Amino acid sequence: MIIKSVELKTVIGVTTKGIPETGQPEIAFAGRSNVGKSSLINALMNRKNYARVSETPGKTMTINFYHINGEFYLVDLPGYGYARVHNDFKAEWGPMIEGYFRDSGDLRAIFLLIDIRRDPNDDDLMMFEWMKGAGIDPVIIATKADKVKRQEKIKRLKALENVFHVKVIPFSFLDKSGREEIYEVIDELLT
């Protein structure tokens, strides 16, 4: 996959009414706060800081639609499970994300990101089960793969595959390992 053009096309917040009809395939990225969704999207787009990245969890509070090559969208969703996010936003986040999943006629796949260093928590498992119940087979990506040694990475991937019963793609923002495998999945989804 060659990324020729990237444009932040649409931003949806909790006060926005309705989900835009893009008319093109959408691939969404979900995961807990600070799991690396924006970093992964930047790596896929070959951009350093196009999607907003922060050390502080809970920075992405909108649904951001990145138009790629004029052909499809990468959709950055707000992270879930961060305790310091304002309660009003937390109460509206669920319906906003659920509305996107339900109302987007162009959603092709959801990539569920899990920090390879952590066991999936209740929020991760609930999101996975919700997706499966909605007929969506999420693609699981283990982020921050550079933060563990090789043997630990193998062990952690096996543990995640035992939890989710699917192949897990390890990804590192530092060396971009896993990016080509993710591109292959996206290419398959777009054909």
DSSP string, 52-115: ---SSTT---SEEEEEETTTEEEEEPPPB--TTS-HHHHHHHHHHHHHHHHH-TTEEEEEEEEE
Residues with pLDDT less than 50, the chain? 54-59, 83-86, 89
Residue 74's DSSP bridge partners are 27, 66
Which percentage of the chain shows pLDDT scores above 70? 83
Task: Supply the mean pLDDT for the chain.
Answer: 85
* Residue 1 within any structural domain of the chain: no
Q: Which of 145, 144, 103, 142 is nearest to 120 (CA)?
A: 142
* Residue 11 within any structural domain of the chain: yes
The structure tokens listed for 8 are 């932040």
The pLDDT assigned to 92 comes to 61
Contact call for residues 107 and 73 (beta carbons, < 8 A): no
* Residue 95 within any structural domain of the chain: yes
* Residue 98 within any structural domain of the chain: yes
Contact call for residues 48 and 176 (beta carbons, < 8 A): no
Query: How many domains, in total, are found in the chain?
Result: 1
Q: What is the CATH number of the domain that holds 80?
A: 3.40.50.300
Q: Token pair 């932040």 is at which residue?
A: 8
The pLDDT assigned to 96 comes to 77
The pLDDT assigned to 95 comes to 76
The pLDDT assigned to 16 comes to 66
Q: What is the pTM of this model?
A: 0.87
Please give the residue range of the domain that contains residue 44: 6-190
